[in-house]
Amino acid sequence: MRRFRHFIIVAVLVALSTVGLRALFSVILALPRASSAEAIPIDALFNGHYWMIAFLFSLIMVMMLYALFVFRRPADDDSDGPYIHGNTVLEIGWTIVPTVVVLGFGVWGAITLNDITSPKPNEMTVNVTGQQWVWSFAYPEQGDFASSELVLPVDRTIVLKMTAEDVIHSFWVPEFRVKQDLVPGRETTLRITPTEAGEFALRCAEICGLNHTQMVATVRVLDAAGFQAWVDAENAAPAFADMTPEDRGAFWHSAEGLGCVACHSLDGAPGVGPTWQGLYGRQEELEDGGTVTVDDPYITTSIIDPNAQITAGYLPNLMPQNYADQIAALEQEIQAAEGVDIDIIADLIAFIKTLE
Ligand code: CUA
């Protein structure tokens, strides 16, 4: 009967400790707001794990501390303890119970993963491109325009078809819970069903070089009418043929264009590459000790053969070395779509000249 009393006390203490620890986890391990349909089953999994962790920690700690204090050796007791050689029931129990629990969590996780990654009715595709260190988004079902922010309609499943230009990046919006890598040369997909309008931050969750921590983009979730209005405004953007070279240059600099913004600021702020503010006509010192005046040929060389002349204080091999191909492909695309010959490098030079 006395032994039975110990079991009841320990059981009550374990229960109290489990509830208390679970409450503590809600504070110190709090998850951000859940803003997607996918977050609900994922948070249920988190909840299940938190309860299990709180229970197992309590079970071990309470038993150990209880034994330590309650069964402490009296000061005058020099006798040996009872001799125990194993306990078959206990050993079978602590093998089978954890096995069943771990398998259960595994099955639960697999069902959840299948649930959140399987195709849903009425999906909308958005193409996502990651490059050092900018995000860009294209909307093939809304006129194939590009955007530097991710704008999504609420309550509709979005399929993100993602690829990387250079190294592995990772798409992560904590409020949506789901996360997926972008891998060069391969398409990965991720499904998100935003459940509330609002503004969120997309972060890159894979170390991808010098400016990894700056690789962020805004995600805006709008109601259906707001999303349509945004799509209409994007589609009303002028044709390249109708823009001035300076305006086109500003566009190429942005994340929607060639992504120069990732490394070259326009306001003198330091970056991975030299700022474009006051760049044109400036005397630049080179790594090899020479100097050069920033003019049309220098800028052209810097774009298509970036390692030819490295400005003092900057590193080689950071600027993508395929801009000549990228620019030629873009110029061909515009020629095919609008029937005009655009000189993208001339546009960029025209734009840089405005940044005195
Ligand atoms: Cu891209 Cu880190």
Q: At what angle do helices 296-304 and 344-353 cross, to 10 degrees?
A: 130
Asked whether 130 lines ligand 1 (CB < 6 A), one says yes
Q: Which residue has the higher pLDDT, 259 or 125?
A: 125
Rg, Å, the chain Cα set: 30
Ligand 1 atom at shortest distance from the alpha carbon of 212: 2
Give the pLDDT mean for 22-37. 93
Task: Say how far apart CA 302 and CA 279 lie, in whole Å.
Answer: 13
What are 309-335's pLDDT values in tens digits? Answer: 888 888 888 888 888 888 888 888 887
Strands 188-192 and 283-285: unpaired
- 58 within 8 A of 21, measured Cβ to Cβ: yes
DSSP 195-232: -S-EEEEEEE-S--STTGGG-EEEEEEE-HHHHHHHHH
Ligand 1 centroid from CA 168, angstroms: 7
What are 181-200's pLDDT values in tens digits? Answer: 999 999 999 999 999 999 99
Ligand 1 centroid from CA 145, angstroms: 23
Question: Given a cut of 90, is residue 205 above it in pLDDT?
Answer: yes
Q: At what angle do helices 344-353 and 245-253 cross, to 10 degrees?
A: 100
Task: Say how far apart CA 332 and CA 165 lie, in whole Å.
Answer: 19
Asked whether 164 lines ligand 1 (CB < 6 A), one says no
Asked whether 166 lines ligand 1 (CB < 6 A), one says no
Ligand 1 centroid from CA 25, angstroms: 30
What's at 53, amino acid-wise? I
Residue of 270, 268, 248 lying closest to 258 (CA atoms): 248
Residue of 158, 155, 134 lying closest to 218 (CA atoms): 134
Q: Where are the domains of the chain?
A: 2-65+91-117, 124-235, 240-353
Asked whether 334 lines ligand 1 (CB < 6 A), one says no
> Ligand 1, atom 1: nearest CA belongs to which residue?
169
Q: Give every CB contact of residue 15 below 8 A, 6+ residues apart in sequence.
A: none
What confidence tier does 1 reach under pLDDT thresholds 50, 70, 90?
Answer: low
Which residues are 332's β-sheet partners? Answer: none
Residue 181: enclosing H or E segment and its boundaries?
Answer: strand 179-182
CA atoms within 13 A on the CB side of 179: 13
Task: Say how far apart CA 69 and CA 85 lie, in whole Å.
Answer: 24
Task: Say how far apart CA 323 and CA 303 lie, in whole Å.
Answer: 7
> What CATH superfamily is the domain 240-353?
Cytochrome c-like domain (1.10.760.10)
Distance linking the first and last C-alpha atoms of the chain: 90
Asked whether 42 lines ligand 1 (CB < 6 A), one says no
Is the Cα dihedral 309, 315, 317, 322 positive or negative? Answer: negative
Which CATH number is correct for 124-235, 3.90.226.10, 2.60.40.420, 3.30.390.50, 1.10.760.10? 2.60.40.420
Mean pLDDT, all residues of the chain: 91
Instruction: Collapse the DSSP code of 99 into the 3-class scheme (helix H, G, I; strand E, B; otherwise coil) and give the result.
Output: helix
What are 139-163's pLDDT values in tens digits? Answer: 999 988 888 899 999 999 999 999 9
Asked whether 179 lines ligand 1 (CB < 6 A), one says no
What's at 117, amino acid-wise? T
Phi, psi of 197 (to 5 degrees): -70, 150
Q: Is the peptide bond before 133 cis (omega within 30 degrees of 0)?
A: yes
Ligand 1 atom at shortest distance from the alpha carbon of 209: 2
Strands 179-182 and 150-153: unpaired
Asked whether 206 lines ligand 1 (CB < 6 A), one says yes
Instruction: Collapse the DSSP code of 199 into the 3-class scheme (helix H, G, I; strand E, B; otherwise coil) and give the result.
Output: strand
Asked whether 215 lines ligand 1 (CB < 6 A), one says yes
Whether pTM > 0.85 for this model: the answer is no
Asked whether 212 lines ligand 1 (CB < 6 A), one says yes
Ligand 1 centroid from CA 253, angstroms: 19
What's at 199, amino acid-wise? E
Asked whether 262 lines ligand 1 (CB < 6 A), one says no
Which token pair is 208?
């991808």
